[in-house]
Amino acid sequence: MDILMPQLGETVTEGKITTWFKSVGDAVKPGDNLFEIETDKVTMEVPATNAGFLTEIMVLAGAVAPVGAVVAVVGEAGGNRSAAAPVAASAPKPAAAPAGRPAVGFIAPVPTAVQKPSGPMDPFFEVRTPARNHGPAQIAGGTYVTPLARRLASESGIDLSRIKGSGPRGRIVAHDIETAAQSGTGRAAMPAGPSAAQVIAMYRDTPYEEVPLDGMRKTIATRLVQAKGTIPHFYLTADIDIDNLLAMREDANASAPKGADGKPAYKLSLNDFVIKAWAAALKRIPDANAVWAEDRILRFQQADIGVAVAIEGGLLTPVIRHADAKSVGAIAADMRDFAERARERKLKPTEYQGGSSAISNLGMYGVREFAAIINPPHATILAVGASRRQAVEKADGSVGFISQMSATVSYDHRVIDGALGAQLLAAFRGFMEQPVTMLV
Amino acid sequence: MAELTYRDAVARGIAQEMERDNDVVFLGEDIGKAGGVFKATVGLYEKFGPLRVRDTPISEQAILGAAMGAAMTGLKPIAEIMFSDFFAVCFDYIANEFPKSRYMTNGQVKCPLVVRTGNGAGSRFGAQHSQSIENWAMMIPGLKVVAPSTPLDVIGLMAAAVRDPDPVIFFEHKSLYATKGEVPDGEIVDTLGTAKIVRPGKDATILALALMVPRALEAAERLKAEHGIDVEVIDLRSLVPLDTQTVLASVARTHRLFTVEENPRLCGWGAELVSIVADEAFYDLDGPPVRITTPHIPLPAADILEDLALPNAERIADRVRRSLEG
């Protein structure tokens, strides 16, 4: 058992051991004097209360120990509790514990396993201090931030260093965080990439041509960084059997009336059917025919589909209005017109703004499947791959070939949850696989 | 329903409890035949007689000692200390005897008494007769502390104080005695430890007590009319027990905290409230809590100086506006 420096009066905090009456290894029995202590008030002998052997002396004669400190150990014969050096008389205060020494020896003994009374009343813990810290009151640069603003910022992932405070003396207040959250300006920055100078330095030994950014490239850069950085994207992919669709397209194109110049009145592309099917799917699943407006969602009756058109130096996304109500032929006519004028950069802003969803088709480049970045404020974008011949197991167990394409839809999870997204994709697949249903 | 003064409400509240319970007795200096120096106990002597309404010598220790003896032996005394400043001459009873007897006797000796007293400034009585000492009482474990601001609350909280099994300090504000308010007929019993939102608002929370409640309300109207600032005013009514729920819920809505205290600034009750809010609602605060108090000075007797010392509607409104607008 541990022998402690006893309490020798209410105001006494430490005692000096003047003499040890026993040496390590000596047998002790209750009543035997172990050591003598001296305080500023008294000198007294301290007897043993248990029988055993003095196995360790931790505070040597001449040293001072605080009340409650372990000064010696009485145990079984030969027992050795620790190899720590005893506190020597030269040590001014034993409170400066040698490294590695268990600190518990200098703490007043506390009853172990004290059971706290159960129930709501605990007068010592009646204050419910917030469990989480939301960062310092003053951020780098010296700006102060109110506690509420700090909490709101940490909860909504706003980077305080990007916020300008409107409060007294430039303090950032809750209102500033709310404004920033709405505009998206204060969103935590992506880890910044290397600067222009760094990149140029990196390639100084490699010949290159410098291409200045034009307006379109800048717009694409900002909007897609914003889209990819702020929209919680998720993606669903489906393989679609397009045998029926290809047959229908072939029939339609073969029976197109010819004009005076001998040219057919129309030539429907696979993409025209994709636009029609996607519009029909959005019309079928109206909850998914929606856009994100920061503090609300806007849902539409009509499906206006933006279609990405690659042009020299970038891309444009003209919008086929009322695509759900248009015939495939009308969609084809719109697309031909839009594509021509897009390449000449002659589209009017009203023709490429808005829409409730978009389509990006890279099938003509042989891309099997890909995931597109949502074009805000849209909540979806459909990415279409190339049609291919695919071996599949037929109903009778034999293997045969069908025409198949893969479609991946990107969703904004703020607007559309997984199940709803799956319904939308299933509807699209249904229209594509049974194209006649688009006509009813 | 009747319009009653705060002064008459005191007498009605005491009478209500004395009629209900024969164990309720009332003692103090000049409270009987004279009807109290503030005329707040007129008619009680005539109604309940000299056995239950006792005029005492001018000895605060004798008043509280007799009250404690009566309480320990089964009565429910209401004792008056004319000026709350005089708590200092009988503080042993207030700090050491009343609040400790139940605890130290393991519940064998209870002390169900009420000490009612005239508190606060506004009457130009000077440094020794004008103090707001609710913070003196609040700091003592074992005491309950109430300070009503309206005639209705005087009656309801008096009833709650008399019926409480522990000692309750009942602060009546001297400058409120002449104020009036609607009071319904019949028995009125309130609950200790419940604050009242006396004016809902969304921009800031103002906590007030006693005379500071009407002043905070006046400031609130000015802020609304002149600056479009919509503050919520809470009448704490009871410092112990303290209705922290109402306070914290309000701060969670308004995100700003102001206290309006008549007690001197150091260790005023608002310091405790700010501490609680800082502990429990730190991340609801959208600005530093602000205490509007009497400065830490002996109160002057000169009217113009006393008026300067106490928070008034203009100072409250100005301080709140400056703090909210930066």
CATH number at residue B20: 3.40.50.970
Chain A residues lying within 8 Å of B284, measured CB to CB = 147-148, 151
Question: Which residues of chain A lie closer than 8 angstroms to B280, CB-CB?
Answer: 127-130
Percent of chain A whose predicted confidence (pLDDT) is above 70: 83
Catalytic residues of B, by residue number, are: 129
Query: In the predicted model, is pLDDT for residue A112 greater than 50?
Result: no
Q: Which domain holds residue B9?
A: 2-183
pLDDT averaged per 10 residues, chain B (length 326): 95 98 98 95 97 97 98 97 98 98 95 98 96 97 97 98 97 97 96 96 97 98 96 97 94 96 97 94 92 95 95 96 84
Partner-chain residue, chosen from A129, A130, A167, that has the shortest CB–CB distance to B326? A167
- The confidence band for A125, taking pLDDT boundaries of 50, 70 and 90, is very low
Pull the structure tokens for residue B113: 């008494």
In chain A, where the domains are located: 2-106, 130-189, 216-257+264-439
Q: How confident is residue A128, by pLDDT bands cut at 50, 70 and 90?
A: low
Å from B275 to nearest chain A CA? 10
Homologous superfamily (CATH) for A130-189:
E3-binding domain (4.10.320.10)
Domain boundaries A2-106, CATH class = mainly beta
Whether B110 and chain A come into contact, CB under 8 Å, resolves to no
Fold match between A130-189 and A216-257+264-439?
Answer: no
Are B211 and B70 found together in one domain? no
- Single-letter amino acid, residue A106: F
- Asked if B132 and B229 sit in the same domain, the reply is no
Boundary-marking domain end, from B123, B154, B183: B183
Q: How many CB atoms lie within 10 A of CB A163?
A: 21
From B131, B159, B183, the end of a domain falls on: B183
pLDDT of residue B326: 62
Whether B201 and B161 share a structural domain: no
Q: Read off the pLDDT of residues A46-103 as tens digits, 9 standing for 90 and up.
A: 888 888 888 888 888 888 888 888 888 888 755 444 444 555 544 333 333 333 333 2
**pLDDT per position as a tens digit, A224-276:** 888 888 899 999 999 999 999 999 999 999 998 888 888 888 899 999 999 99
Backbone phi, then psi, for B263, in 5-degree steps?
A: -65, 155
Number of domains in chain B: 2
CA-based nearest residue to A300, from A309, A312, A291: A291
Q: Are residues B107 and B246 in the same domain?
A: no
Interchain contact, A147 vs B282, CB within 8 Å: yes
Separation in Å, CA B216 to CA A188, B132, B177, B183: 42, 17, 18, 22
Measured at the CA of A321, the angle between CA A320 and CA A324, to 5 degrees, comes to 95
* Cβ within 8 Å, pair B282-A128: no
Does residue B131 sit within a domain?
Answer: yes
Q: Which of residues 212-271 of B touch A (CB under 8 A)?
A: 255
Instruction: Please tell me if residue B280 touches chain A, with a CB cutoff of 8 Å.
Output: yes
The H or E element spanning position A273 is helix A270-284
**Contact predicate B193/B170, CB 8 Å:** no
Instruction: Single out the residue in B183, B215, B234 at which a domain terminates.
Output: B183
Distances, alpha carbon A41 to alpha carbons A37, A286, B205, in Å: 11, 89, 56
Same domain, B179 and B208: no
Give A438's pLDDT tier (boundaries 50, 70, 90). confident
Give the confidence band of A105 by pLDDT, cuts at 50, 70, 90: very low
Domain match, B156 and B40 both? yes
Task: Say whether both B225 and B90 belong to one domain.
Answer: no
Nearest CA in chain B to A177: B286
- Kindly state whether residue B102 falls inside one of the protein's structural domains: yes
Say if B190 falls within a structural domain.
no
Min Cα separation A153/chain B (Å): 11
Is B72 part of a structural domain of the chain? Answer: yes
Whether B46 and chain A come into contact, CB under 8 Å, resolves to no
pLDDT beyond 90 at A312: no
Contact with chain A for residue B284, Cβ under 8 A: yes
Q: Spelled out in words, what is the top-level CATH class assigned to the domain A216-257+264-439?
A: alpha beta
| Location of structure tokens 């592309």 | A269
Give mean pLDDT, residues A426-431: 96
Is A150–B285 a contact, with Cβ atoms under 8 angstroms apart?
A: no
Q: State the SS3 of A149-214.
A: HHHHHHHHCECHHHCCCCCHHHCECHHHHHHHHHHCCCECCCCCCCCHHHHHHHCCCCCCCCCCCC
Shortest CA distance from A169: residue in chain B: B326
pLDDT of A155 > 90? The answer is: no
Name the minimum distance, in Å, from the CA of B42 to any CA of chain A: 42
The CA R_g of chain A, rounded to the nearest whole Å, is 40
- Taking residues A33-38, report their average pLDDT: 86
Residue B130 and residue B39 share a domain? yes
Picking from A128, A134, A149, the nearest residue to B286 by CB comes out as: A149
Chain A interface, best mutation among B251, B282, B322, by max A CB count within 10 A = B282
Same domain (yes/no): B36, B174: yes
B14 lies in some domain: yes
User: Distance between CA A86 and CA B315 in Å, rounded?
Assistant: 66
> Which of helix, strand or coil describes residue A25?
coil
What pLDDT, on a 0 to 100 scale, did the predictor assign at position B103? 95
pLDDT band at A160 (very low <50, low <70, confident <90, very high): confident
Q: What is the pLDDT of residue B81?
A: 98
Per-residue model confidence as pLDDT tens digits over A373-421: 999 899 999 999 999 999 999 889 999 999 999 999 999 999 999 999 9
Q: Are B57 and B143 within one domain?
A: yes
Question: Is the Cβ–Cβ distance between A155 and A125 less than 8 Å?
Answer: no
Residue B189 lies in a domain: no
> What are the chain B neighbours of A174 within 8 Å (beta carbons)?
255, 286
* Residue B191, in any domain of the structure: no
Average pLDDT, chain A: 82
Q: Pairing between strand A380-384 and A399-412?
A: antiparallel
Helix (H), strand (E) at residue B114: strand B114-119
Average pLDDT over residues A325-345: 91
- The CATH code of the domain that includes B212 is 3.40.50.920
- The pLDDT score that the predictor gives to residue A157 is 80
B23 touching A, CB under 8 A? no
DSSP assignment of A62-98, as one string?
Answer: T-EEETT-EEEEEESTT-----PPPBPTT-S-TTSPP
Query: What pLDDT score does A85 carry?
Result: 52
Same domain, yes or no: B229 and B135 = no
Query: Which A positions 371-400 lie with beta carbon below 8 A of chain B?
Result: none
Give the tens place of pLDDT for each residue, A198-207: 888 888 888 9
pLDDT at A41: 62
| pLDDT(A42) > 70 | no
**B198 in the Ramachandran plot: left (φ > 0), alpha (ψ -120 to 50) or beta?**
alpha
Residues B230 and B158 in one domain: no
Task: Retrieve residue A96's tokens.
Answer: 């400066």
Please give the sequence-ordered ranges of beta strands (E in DSSP) within B228-320, or none if there are none: 231-235, 238-240, 257-264, 290-294
Question: Of the candidates A127, A148, A175, which has its C-beta nearest B285's C-beta?
Answer: A148
